Amino acid sequence: MTTLRQRMIEDLKIRNRSPRTINTYTACVAHFARHFGKSPELLGPEEIRQYQVYLVHERKVSWSYFNQVVSALRFLYRVTLAREWSISHIPYPRQPRKLPVILSPAEVQRFLATIKQLKYRTILMTAYAAGLRLSEVTHLQVADIDSQRMLIRVRQGKGQKDRYVMLAPTLLSLLRRYWRQERPKLWLFPGRRLETPIECSTVQRACRQAGRDAGLTKPVTVRVLRHCFATHLLEAGANIRVIQILLGHRSLSTTQRYTYVSEKTVHATVSPLELLAPADQVARD
């Protein structure tokens, strides 16, 4: 490990950044350095600009990945290397705002019913029933299921914040059946090695396969299930502030995007076409 990499990791740790953020930032900086074959200490604004152009035009990366690179380079040059030009010369791009893919309740039911393996059905039903992120559902511990209070404890979610979400009776019944079969000790959903949680990639593969098996034309991921959780709650009349707390969103504006995909919201206003006289009546007049 280079001295610069070690310093950056230390700077991230003393700011209490999550292990996932540390791994992401150091990987982004490593790819940047490898692209030019030089230490980032020897590179500056012009190389950063060239690398951004390369990411957009040649690698055609997603805007979310592009922003991860920008965040990593900003941290490196502003904090670890203390370069004064770091903010003005490493701008964030304007991201396109896309609405999330939403499954209908019937599609979610069909999706879950397709999953034959009990462990994967339990994981994915938990993700939907509680609106959990992928990393949150994979890192649940047995002790996080509070059947007395009918709550699930989410440890150190995004932003390193704990929160509680509801434990649905139907989910609790499935969790008890799963526990009797698998007898997990620490991690609720352990990986191949019992002392580690299941891999995120394993869960995503199972999720995509279940979507195909269910004959769904929409892509299904754990994030899509989380979007469905929020949208279905909103359509059922839940308060948007409550949904914000359940999702662990810092800002209410992040939660409000679900109003744009809610059938209840979209159907609340009648199309002006319905206000026109029927075409056959116009012809008679």
Kindly report, residue by residue over 100-138, the tens digit of the pLDDT. 888 999 999 999 999 999 999 999 999 999 999 999 999
Domain annotation covers residue 213: yes
Residues 244, 185, single domain; the answer is yes
Q: Would you state the pLDDT for residue 268?
A: 62
Domain count, the chain: 2
Quick one: pLDDT band at residue 174, thresholds 50, 70, 90? very high
Residues 111, 73, single domain; the answer is no
Domain annotation covers residue 281: no
Residues 217, 111, single domain; the answer is yes
C-alpha 153/C-alpha 146 separation (Å) is: 8
Domain annotation covers residue 32: yes
Domain annotation covers residue 274: no
Quick one: pLDDT band at residue 197, thresholds 50, 70, 90? very high
Average pLDDT over residues 208-212: 95
- Single residue among 63, 80, 97 that ends a domain in this structure: 80
C-alpha 49/C-alpha 107 separation (Å) is: 44
Q: In what order do the strands lie in the sheet with 145-146?
A: 145-146, 151-157, 161-166
Q: Would you state the pLDDT for residue 280?
A: 57
Residues 128, 64, single domain; the answer is no
Residue 87 has pLDDT above 80, yes or no: no
Give helix then strand counts, H and E, for the chain: 14, 3
Domain annotation covers residue 284: no
Residues 41, 177, single domain; the answer is no
Residues 140, 252, single domain; the answer is yes
Q: Which long-range contacts (CB under 8 A, 24 or more apart) does 255-259 make?
A: 255/230, 257/97, 257/99, 257/100, 258/100, 258/227, 258/230, 258/231, 258/234, 259/234
Amino acid at residue number 266: V
Q: Where are the alpha helices (DSSP H) in the chain?
A: 3-14, 19-36, 45-53, 63-75, 105-114, 118-130, 134-138, 169-182, 200-213, 222-235, 240-247, 252-256, 263-266, 279-284
Q: What is the dihedral of CA 17, 23, 25, 30, to 10 degrees?
A: 150
Domain annotation covers residue 209: yes
The two three-digit tokens of residue 285, written as one number: 């007049």
* Beta bridge mates, 154: 163
The two three-digit tokens of residue 92, written as one number: 């964030």
Residues 125, 262, single domain; the answer is yes
Residues 43, 147, single domain; the answer is no
Q: Phi and psi for 31 in degrees, rounded to 5? A: -65, -40
Residues 119, 246, single domain; the answer is yes
Closest-CA residue to 101 (of 231, 238, 194): 231
Residues 231, 156, single domain; the answer is yes
Reported pTM: 0.72
21: CATH: 1.10.150.130
| Alpha-carbon distances of 55 from 28, 31, 85, rounded to whole Å | 12, 11, 21
Residues 189, 68, single domain; the answer is no
Mean per-residue pLDDT over the chain, rounded: 88
Residues 115, 32, single domain; the answer is no
Residue 202 has pLDDT above 70, yes or no: yes
Domain annotation covers residue 157: yes
pLDDT in tens, 272-282: 776 676 655 54
Quick one: pLDDT band at residue 283, thresholds 50, 70, 90? low
The two three-digit tokens of residue 152, written as one number: 């699930």
Distance of CA 228 to the CA centre of its chain: 12
Q: Would you state the pLDDT for residue 265?
A: 63
Residue 160 has pLDDT above 90, yes or no: no
Q: Where are the beta strands (DSSP E) in 87-218?
A: 145-146, 151-157, 161-166
Distance in Å from the first CA to the final CA of the chain:
84
Domain annotation covers residue 125: yes
The two three-digit tokens of residue 93, written as one number: 């791009």
- 46 is in which domain, residue-wise? 3-80
Residue 175 has pLDDT above 70, yes or no: yes
* Beta bridge mates, 164: 153
Residue 99 has pLDDT above 90, yes or no: no
pLDDT in tens, 27-73: 999 999 999 999 999 999 999 999 999 999 999 998 889 999 999 99
Residue 157 has pLDDT above 70, yes or no: no
211: CATH: 1.10.443.10
Look up tokens 């059922």; give the residue.
Answer: 236
